[in-house]
Amino acid sequence: MSGLYAMAPVISARGIVNRFGTQVVHHGVDLDVYPGEVFGIVGGSGSGKSVLLRTLLGLQRPRAGEVWIDGRTVVVEGDPAATAPREVKRRYGVTFQHGALFSSLTVRQNIEVPMIEHLGLSPAARRRLADLRLALVGLPLEAGDKYPAQLSGGMVKRAALARALALDPPLLFLDEPTSGLDPIAATGFDQLLLELQRQLGLTVVMITHDLDTLFGTCNRLGVLVDGKMVSGTVDEILANPHPWIQEYFGGLRGRAALAGSGRQWPAGLRISAQAGSGG
């Protein structure tokens, strides 16, 4: 993976400031995401993970800072009207924490929504492409005729992923993709994500609390602490002395997830037996 980081980043953010009234959520967040990596974003409650995701997408206007996707400006400091150009929006897909599927549409119709907005295709062509997306995420074709309320939690996650992939984007943003899933379904989703990432050459930005997902899928992590972001490889984050980082990753749950992933603690790093549960 080391060669990736000599390339220009797909996403860059500099000096992001978000505040609501007197509450400062982000105080100068910087990040870079490189082509072909899975970048995990983690932080405590109230650290602004979802707010940062919305900022990267141009849905949340920060008080200061700039964001670029593929070298194109999404957020410009001092320009509250700036928004992601249409061609930039076509280059990424998004899944939200609870799927955010349209309840009044079938799964297939949900997948076709981005195609209607961006592609001049016939209904028959849209249906064929939607069925390909269903197969891509491991859903049977008959699932396309069902409504979101008729699906299991795991199927909803996969349906949302199919919609995110509708336009063949090279970039995916995932908000808590395995939340609410049982361990078997969560592991299956992680494996699916890695397979798609390899096959399609995707770059993935993921918010998750799932330590198994973090250790099993991510190349690098970005941790939101003290209003800023600490980024690095998994080993670099594990070795970071910040108390919150050590408590989160060095607790019993963190150590169990790391052991399950087959990773090792960085050489020379001592984990305190007094560390909390981490998760």
Percent of the chain with pLDDT over 90: 53
Mean pLDDT of 46-73: 88
Structure tokens given for 263? 């990773």
Above 90 in pLDDT, residue 251? no
Mean pLDDT of 148-153: 92
pLDDT recorded at residue 3: 58
> What is the distance between the alpha carbons of residues 273 and 220, in angstroms, rounded to a whole number?
26
Q: Which residues contact 195 (CB under 8 A, 6 or more apart)?
A: none
- The backbone torsions φ and ψ at residue 241, rounded to the nearest 5 degrees and listed phi first, read -80, 0
- Sheet with 64-69, edge to edge strand ranges: 23-33, 11-20, 64-69, 72-75
- Assess contact for 177 and 188: CB atoms under 8 A: no
Q: What DSSP string runs through the chain?
A: -GGGGGSPPSEEEEEEEEEETTEEEEEEEEEEE-TT-EEEEEE-TTS-HHHHHHHHTTSS--SEEEEEETTEEEEBTTBTT----HHHHTTEEEE-TT----TTS-HHHHHHHHHHHH----HHHHHHHHHHHHHHTT--GGGGGS-GGGS-HHHHHHHHHHHHTTT--SEEEEESTTTT--HHHHHHHHHHHHHHHHHHT-EEEEE---HHHHHHH-SEEEEEETTEEEEEEHHHHHT---HHHHHHHHSHHHHHHHHHHT--PPTTPPPPTT-----
> What is the distance between the alpha carbons of residues 16 and 131, in angstroms, rounded to a whole number?
39
> pLDDT band for position 117 (50/70/90)?
confident
Mean pLDDT of 255-268: 69
> What is the distance between the alpha carbons of residues 63 and 27, in angstroms, rounded to a whole number?
10
Cross-strand pairs, 224 = 43, 229
* Average pLDDT taken over every residue of the chain: 85
Strand 38-43, strand 220-225: pairing:
parallel
Above 90 in pLDDT, residue 139? yes
Domain segments of the chain: what residues? 98-169
Structure tokens given for 189? 């989703």
> What is the distance between the alpha carbons of residues 165 and 169, in angstroms, rounded to a whole number?
6
> What is the distance between the alpha carbons of residues 86 and 30, in angstroms, rounded to a whole number?
24
pLDDT recorded at residue 53: 92
